[in-house]
Amino acid sequence: MEHKKNGFSLVELLIVLGIIGLLMVIGVILLGTARERARDAKRLSDMQFIKQAMEDFYYNNNKYPQAPTPVTLGDVGYKVICAGTPNGFAETRSACGTGTVYLDPIPTPPEPQPAQLSGYIYTATNPTATYTLDAALEGAVNGLSGKIEITPGGLIMKQ
């Protein structure tokens, strides 16, 4: 008389666990890539919002907000873009007085930030003509990677 075993063999269990482990590794890798792309998409979107606020400011004031030395937008003193201050930036909406508010609050970049450049860096050495807004991407988006820059002329990749 033959005795029939019920259940799985050790080899079968190891194969199933190996397949599940492999699928989990692939899922974690894909999830990490998706998160990186989402953060980069937010950075690009934020920069477009800031660019639009700068253009609206320029349209109404015939100049861009003033920052002859690079400043990190969103930091102390640079959280709101408005016309009620001497340089076009304020800490709070109420600090803008009766001036038009163009962006409140200035968006902050998602964490973690790329090592190449932290934050959105704004400079307007000639505020009546131009400005630069610098940031960095973690990965590649639409052919852009590394450090990027927005000017009134558009978006470019910096070398």
Residues 7-46 have pLDDT tens digits of 778 888 899 999 999 999 888 877 778 888 889 999 999 9
Higher per-residue confidence, 47 vs 157: 47
What local confidence, expressed as pLDDT, does residue 144 receive?
81
Please give the share of the chain, as a percent, with pLDDT higher than 70: 96
Contact 134, 114 (CB under 8 A): no
List, in sequence order, every residue forming a beta bridge with 103; answer none if it has no partner.
Answer: 81
Residue 128, in any domain of the structure: yes
Residue 5, in any domain of the structure: no
d(CA 78, CA 106): 8
On the question of pLDDT at 113 being above 80, the answer is: yes
Residue 3, in any domain of the structure: no
In the chain the first and final C-alpha atoms are separated, in Å, by 79
ω before 112 within 30° of 0 (cis)?
yes
Residue-range definition of the domain harbouring residue 87: 10-157
When divided into structural domains, the chain yields a total of: 1
The three-state secondary structure class of 30 is helix
